[in-house]
Amino acid sequence: MWSKLESFILEKMSKTRLPGLSIAIVSGNEIIYANGFGFRDIEYGLPATPRTIYGIGSVTKSFTALSIMQLVEKGVLSLEDPIEKFIPLEIRPFGEEIRIWHLLTHSSGIPALAYAEAFISSIVGDYATWVPIASHKDVLPFMSDAEDWVISKPGKEFYYLNEGYVILGHIIEKVSGIRYEDYVKRNILKPLKMERSFFSREELEKDIDKATPYVIDREGKWIKSTYPFGITSDGGLLSNTLDLANYIVMYLNRGRFNSVELVSSKTLEEMEKPRIIYKYSYFPSEGYALGWSVIPNFLGYKLIHHSGSVLVSTAYVGYLPEKKLGVVILANASGYPLSFIGMYALALALGRDPDKDVEPLRHDRLLDELCGIYETYKSTMRIYVERRGGVLYLVMKGKYRVSEIPLIPERLGEDEALFFTSRLGLKVPVKFRKRDNYVELVYDRYLLRRKV
């Protein structure tokens, strides 16, 4: 079973140029599989291991949400508390107060203000607007005019808001009386024996098994970079798959790790209840709960999961409470979606065929299968079908000009796939059909074939 997973991981790493990746799979209280692939540092030829430290990005949000829920259990705050009770930020979308649960579920009504995107891009050397935000105190004046940008009333629509989790970190400090990082360390990391999980550059530099972060440029070259140290409550934790396996074990055991209870099972059930449904998803009724994304039906079971990215490092954590099964994946660049690898691993562990039974993986495979060089009768014309990320393009190349036409999928079947494109505002159908010895492409007035 795991050999199939390993082949899949290496194939996708090769295709997207990912330098290194680490994975751990948990069943009940035990790690049943752990491995490292590729390089934690290419220059020195150092291999990735299950112990390798990476930035986990927005998976940190689940730690922030768990901290809030611990404080709710202590009775020092309520999910219904307006944020104005704790911070001097008076943004009232369409006249309504933003409450703590609105920030936890990304439903404040404020669209993404992109402070994190600008900050990360600047730190890693990409071209971006410089936003000098070093702490949550800087975020408050940054957001001061955001009321003019609100989209909906609070609690109605999902708009992923990093700034909201920065504010939640500030609220944790206000209520607990200690720094956010210290709160997480004392109340989550230490009880879970996550001894190699931390927020600071100083602690990272002391560790001998850490991943070098990389940017992969347009040509596929690896550019050595740095982690974006700064604000932490929305995405600043650094960790490894073995530590995060303990984190999953706590969730699988309904708030307990060994003899310690971090939160009650009732609280965890609240955290896993989707409150805002996504506008688009591969899975019906997928939505955001409290610090976690929730798929109600993943191969018959509820999947609680979250991805993370700081561009130079990516992460995925997912678990199935009913099956007491979970997975952690970390990588030192942005490449193939780690969520797809996580779902592949979970499907295998459930005894299912990931390529056929998991919709995003099936979709991904079918797009790859359509790529290639298509020719008309007697090779009078040639069209290249190329993939850029999750989009197929019809590409016509000549000496003097190149035409690139994006294809929007309508229906992807095993034997027939329907797409459309646009010409002068008109919807133009594009059809692929698989035959025994070739794949057929019907576009406009042309019939083209690609040999299998």
Please, what is the Cα angle at 223 between 219 and 227, to 5 degrees?
A: 135
Nearest to residue 104, comparing CAs of 261, 270, 329? 270
- Predicted pLDDT of residue 218: 87
CATH architecture of 2-353: 3-Layer(aba) Sandwich (3.40)
pLDDT of 127 reads 72
- Where do the domains of the chain lie? 2-353, 371-451
pLDDT digits (tens, 9 = 90+) for 149-176: 999 999 999 999 999 999 999 999 999 9
User: CA-CA distances (angstroms) from residue 220 to 22, 145, 214?
Assistant: 21, 39, 11
Question: Tokens for 121?
Answer: 């891009």
Predicted local distance difference test score (pLDDT) of residue 423: 87
**Do 371-451 and 2-353 fall under one CATH topology?**
no
d(CA 395, CA 450): 14
Q: Which two tokens stand for residue 426?
A: 């008109």
Low-confidence ranges of the chain (pLDDT < 70): none
Q: In angstroms, rounded to a whole number, what is the distance separating the alpha carbons of residues 99 and 409?
A: 39
371-451: CATH topology is Lipocalin (2.40.128)
Helices 162-176 and 115-123, axial angle in degrees (round to 10): 100
Distances (CA, A) of 66 to 23, 87, 149, 229, 290: 23, 20, 29, 22, 8
